[in-house]
Amino acid sequence: MKDVGFTLVEVLVVIAILVMAMALLFPTFTGSRERARATVCRGRIRQLLLELYTYESDHQTLPYGFAFSRAQPPGGFAGDASVDLMGWWWFNFTGTVRYGAWTEMDVLRCPSKKLDAPPLKYDILCGNYGVNRSLCKSAGALPPYNEAFVGEPLSTTQVRRPGSTLLLVDSGYALISWWHATEDPPVILREFSIEDSAYIPGLEINRNKPLRSGQETDAINGRHSNERVNVGFVDGHIAPTRASDLLVEKTGSETWNSKPLWTPR
């Protein structure tokens, strides 16, 4: 009676077919996971926008991006005291974080960020979402951001083109401005300052920025597919946007970008 079973050649053929099938399907699985993460990212930006608008409804302006304070916000100070400023951040003003629970902070985390090294990897201020500090200004001087970015925060009604002006975006730091999206900022950004290492993920100029160790992959390679970032606009809509569209270029003595806009002009 003939033995029933597989020969070594047949086993190797089956293994080869499985390997080829996995090789063909792996990019599909990877793409599906990334699309899912991008969808979660947009949902979190939507929730944060709603909280910003709720704050504005109660106070007639958007919240401060940052305000120095010795009094701890509910849940304690955010960030890492060795690199971050201690005070109230925009998400403390909106009440996003009340008790400091990890589950509360999930909404502040971009699921696609690619920070490689602690402490930045675990710092809630790094590699997640940043507010446009042209709108959510700081209470008090934060050198070198002493001019357009300091003072009373704006209200959305003061923005002339709310459908084109960004409010919240995938970012290297919790505060970001057009200074971080141009090759020619008005001042030299400091290598030792974590604020100055803010960036738009995937922007080409990041290769020459003063990045910190662990930021390189996120800043240079980008976060979402096709070098796109999720942008929440002042009017409330959210759009995946090419990182290159956020670049602020210089023409003569003027800086500009056509859309999206960084300044509320």
pLDDT, tens only, 52-97: 999 999 999 999 999 999 898 988 889 888 889 999 999 999 998 7
**Whole-angstrom distance, CA of residue 252 vs CA of residue 245:** 20
Higher model confidence: residue 173 or residue 34?
173
Question: What residues does 66 pair with on adjacent strands?
Answer: 89, 138
87: nearest Cα among 59, 64, 110: 64
Sorting pLDDT into bands at 50, 70 and 90, what band is 131? Answer: very high
Confidence of residue 30 (pLDDT cuts 50, 70, 90): low
Predicted pLDDT of residue 22:
66
What is the DSSP pairing of strand 129-132 with strand 175-176? parallel
Q: What local confidence, expressed as pLDDT, does residue 258 receive? A: 77
CA distances in angstroms from 95 to 27, 75, 152, listed in the order given: 40, 10, 19
What pLDDT, on a 0 to 100 scale, did the predictor assign at position 117? Answer: 83
Mean pLDDT score, 126-155: 92
Res 175 pLDDT > 70? yes
pLDDT of residue 140: 85
Report CA torsion sign: 41, 42, 45, 46.
negative
pLDDT digits (tens, 9 = 90+) for 177-215: 999 999 888 888 887 788 888 999 999 999 988 888 899
Phi, psi for 234 (deg, rounded to 5): -60, -35
In the prediction, which pLDDT does 33 show? Answer: 84
What is the model's pLDDT at position 255? 75
pTM: 0.85
In the prediction, which pLDDT does 141 show?
79
